[in-house]
Structure 1
Amino acid sequence: MPIIDMSTLSPVGEFGSKAWGEACSEASVKILEAADIPADTNWAFTEDYTHPPARLMEGERTHAGYYIMVKDGKVSAGDGIPDAARALPGFHVRMPWAYLCNQSGALYGREGQQRRSGHEAELMAAIVAHTGNDNPFNFIINAEGKPNAFLDPVGPWPSAVGSALGEGGEDGNGLHNIAATLQSDSPEFADLPVTDMRVPIFGEMTDDQKQFFLDLCGIGR
């Protein structure tokens, strides 16, 4: 049975805000502390959202994002991207805030995740075609010579961690849906065309909207 009761959750802050990251972290710790995590588990999750709106960086924050860390089986999590978490193998991603923000508020299970990924691939292809740049977000180049938002050291999700954070995902629970429920809407997307998964539709934007969105993503800065 899932640890978090979804009926008790409500929006606490925008995607990438300190309040939202701390709430996601708190839920993650509750879930993982209730799980049977082997004592030799060393793994971390970090999501670093670049080019966030200035309002999200108040209080001398240096990163918009949050982390989950399991060190020798002990769980910690919080706002920010600490070096200790980044040093562990795991799931580490650095992407523009605007590219992920709106659709991160959509509730879904496995099929919805696949549709979101498909819509995001279309968004990326449209941006690449519009800018004429195969790497518009200046991602690192991986061993295959392709831009990649995922950062080293990469490590697979430990089964105990993945199972715990994903529990109930097909029924509206799980870490993604918890984070989506805690997220409040950001005004930048109020007038942009989006898919049913809330992914911006670049091809349906006006010229001004396209430039606005590219600026939000930090392209050209």
Structure 2
Amino acid sequence: MAGIALDFDFVEQYRTRIADGFLLTVELSAASLVISMLVGVPVAVGQGSRVLPVRYLCDLYVKLVRGTPLLVQIYLFYYIIGTAWGIDNKVVAGIVILSVFAGAYIAEIVRGSLLSIDEGQMEAARAVGFTRAQTVRHVVLPQLVARTLPALTGQFATIVKDSSLLSVIAVIELTQTVREITATNYNFFGGFLLLGGLYLCLTLPIMFVSKRFEKRFGYAH
């Protein structure tokens, strides 16, 4: 029956296209992680701001992004907002969409970590004469890094998987590449089995690193 046979002969024929799609997925995910960090950290700080408009805007952004499906955001941004702003490069649009989406989740990760830092440590730092900058550098940042790294690493794996949804706007990443190949050779079973394996090649090492961070920083216990 068409599409059921377990046949990977097509891999050799399309190896260059598959490799290009794989690399673009890595590039999209890495760029989105960096930009989403630049978005998420200020938003997390803004959520604790004493300036009410800033706090409300940051809260609204997080709630809107986390409360709506990524697929809806992709369509909304690319076909409405992206068109209005003149963003016609699909790769750039994809990076922006993933960054905005992941930024909301990173903001919550960072905010939760900030709230978990004992206020007594801040008071102790002030008592021994630390300035605000010294308190942030020597007290807040080391704990923030230790508490957010495992979750941020896991978020990177999520970004890798979420990048597959960019195929709906024809970004030629890994999923779209395999879709185009299977539309030609009708080997859907082999094609999508390969696709799952390639995503595992990306996400399993990331999840392993996340577990290592959890153990190192004591989150396993």
Normalised by the size of structure 1, how large is the TM-score?
0.23
Q: Identify the structure with bigger relative contact order (alpha carbons < 8 Å, sequence gap 6+).
A: 2
Higher strand share: 1
Normalised by the size of structure 2, how large is the TM-score?
0.23
